[in-house]
Amino acid sequence: MNIDNHVLAIDSGNTSIKVGWFINGRLKTVETFNLNFLIPLEDWLKNHTKYNAIMSSVLSDEDTKKVIDLLDNCHLITSDTELPIKLDYETKHTLGIDRVCNAVYSVSHSKTDYCVTVDIGTCVKFDLTGPDKHYIGGSISPGVQLRYKSLNDYTGKLPLISNKSRANLVGTDTASCIHSGVMNGLRAEITMMMQEYRAEFPSLTFFMTGGDASNFDLVSKNDIFADENLTLKGLHEIYKHNA
Please identify which of the residues 11, 98, 127, 227 carries the catalytic annotation: 98
First to last CA, the chain: 5
Query: What is the sign, positive or negative, of the torsion defined by CA atoms of 58, 62, 68, 70?
Result: negative
C-alpha to C-alpha distance for 214 and 90, rounded to whole angstroms: 32
Q: 3-state DSSP call for residue 191?
A: helix
CA distance 230 to 189: 22
Q: Tell me whether residue 11 is one of the annotated catalytic residues.
A: no
Whether residue 149 contacts residue 132, with contact meaning beta carbons closer than 8 Å, is answered with: no
| Residue 54 near residue 39 (C-beta atoms within 8 A) | no
Which residues have a catalytic role annotated? 98
